[in-house]
Amino acid sequence: MRSRIACVGLLLCGCAGFVPVDFPVLPPGRMPDARVRQAARARPERGAAPLGRPADAVELGASTFEMGCLDGDPSCEHDEQPVHRVRLPAFAIDRHEVTWARYAACVDAGLCEKIALPACYVWTADRKFEIGPTLAPGMIDADKPVVCINWDQAETFCEAHGGTLPTEAQWERTARGPRRSLYAWGNTPPSCEHAQFDGCGEGTRPVGTRPIGDSPDGVADLAGNVWEWVGDWYDDDAYGRVSHRLNPRGPWEGDVRVVRGGSFYDAESDLRASYRYGLSPEYGYSTLGFRCAYPR
């Protein structure tokens, strides 16, 4: 995000030492209130069969790539190093971030729960994160990315469609494509034609409306619009602890889950393909959505 954030309570995590005054931070030891815990942990009854992945999911072949910060990148941070080679089996991934329309269909099928908007941390017009404010007009349009969804809800949606949240390695491979570039589209600095980020207008945009910013494989909105949940727990030293190179995952447990890609709230440095951040999986945020990955 615009400033890196210390691990405090269960809210969110970044690089220790900096806590912005405009983001709510739980005092150490304080647990989320009852409405947040209930929204995060309740699960709907599951149907007998998954809904199936979307027809336009992008197929990515088995590959080996270098994961982590580019040499010479002045924005490179500790948790993006060291660079390490990763092997990935073939997989598929959503071309677009999951929309409100897709999520509503899962709710209607009885496989996903409704989103508890009163338990969502919302980026407000006076530039603060607060729990419970109404989302800005247009944020819940059917063709825009679903937000205010916690990690468990996102994973449940993916499971209902025969997939999971992508691993951090799968997400970065998708964003880098077959080349090692700074952003999903290449090394050209971001503009509002590439992505929806700070300075490009308030709130989200319909998915897929910045095609110049697509990855080489045609995956949209990997930079900006909304952050995206991935499957891994966050660890700022994860890359130094990789014990195997085949689709590695983060630690077995933690307080925060990795998010990737930046959002409409964030600066251009957060849109880099290697940039990592962490947020509490118990909460939903108005700047955070997701997409799913599928086995092949």
Taking CA atoms, 136 is separated from 95, 133, 232, 244, 269, in Å, by 26, 9, 30, 44, 25
Residue 278 has a CB neighbour count (10 Å cut-off) of: 24
The CATH number linked to 90 is 3.90.1580.10
Which residue(s) pair with 26 in the sheet?
none
Q: Is pLDDT above 80 for 234?
A: yes
Which residue(s) pair with 162 in the sheet?
none
Q: Give 173 or 136, the one with higher predicted confidence.
A: 173
What's the whole-model pTM score?
Answer: 0.85
Q: Is pLDDT above 60 for 13?
A: no
Query: Would you say residue 208 lies in a domain?
Result: yes
- Output the CA torsion 252→77→145→94 (10° steps): -60
- Distance from C-alpha of 70 to C-alpha of 273, rounded to nearest angstrom: 10
Query: Would you say residue 198 lies in a domain?
Result: yes
Which of these, 271, 267, 249, lies nearest to 258 by C-alpha position?
Answer: 249
Query: Would you say residue 4 lies in a domain?
Result: no
Check residue 279 and give its pLDDT.
96
Q: Which are the contacts of 258, defined by CB distance < 8 A and separation ≥ 6? A: 168, 229, 230, 231, 232, 233, 234, 250, 276, 277, 278
Continuous H helices in 109-255: 151-160, 168-176
- Distance from C-alpha of 293 to C-alpha of 131, rounded to nearest angstrom: 30
Query: Would you say residue 139 lies in a domain?
Result: yes
State how far Cα 208 lies from the chain centre: 16
Least reliable range by pLDDT among 92-101, 248-257, 287-296: 248-257
Check residue 12 and give its pLDDT.
37
Q: Kindly provide the b/e burial profile for residues 238-268, where b requires at least 16 CB atoms within 10 angstroms of the residue's own CB.
A: bbeebeeeeebebeeebbbbbbbbbbbbbeb
- Most confident by average pLDDT, 1-15, 18-32, 85-99: 85-99
Check residue 47 and give its pLDDT.
43
Query: Would you say residue 50 lies in a domain?
Result: no
- Distance from C-alpha of 205 to C-alpha of 224, rounded to nearest angstrom: 10
pLDDT 10s digits, 42-92: 444 444 447 899 999 999 999 999 999 988 888 999 999 999 999 999 999
Least reliable range by pLDDT among 70-79, 94-103, 112-121: 70-79
State how far Cα 282 lies from the chain centre: 14
* Both structure tokens of 237: 């030293």
Check residue 243 and give its pLDDT.
66
Check residue 72 and give its pLDDT.
80
Q: Is pLDDT above 70 for 29?
A: no
Reported confidence tier of residue 26, pLDDT bands at 50, 70, 90: very low
pLDDT 10s digits, 142-198: 999 999 999 999 999 999 999 999 999 999 999 987 778 999 999 999 999 999 999
* Both structure tokens of 98: 């999951």
| Structural domain count of the chain | 1
* Both structure tokens of 41: 């942990």
Q: Is pLDDT above 90 for 219?
A: yes
Query: Would you say residue 9 lies in a domain?
Result: no
Position 5: which residue type?
I
* Residue 94, domain extent: 35-45+55-296
Query: Would you say residue 165 lies in a domain?
Result: yes
Query: Would you say residue 14 lies in a domain?
Result: no
Token look-up 């929309």 returns 99
Handedness of CA 180, 186, 188, 194 (dihedral sign): negative
Which of these, 3, 27, 276, 26, lies nearest to 131 by C-alpha position?
Answer: 26
Check residue 6 and give its pLDDT.
31
Q: Which are the contacts of 244, defined by CB distance < 8 A and separation ≥ 6? A: none
Q: DSSP letter for 231, please.
A: E
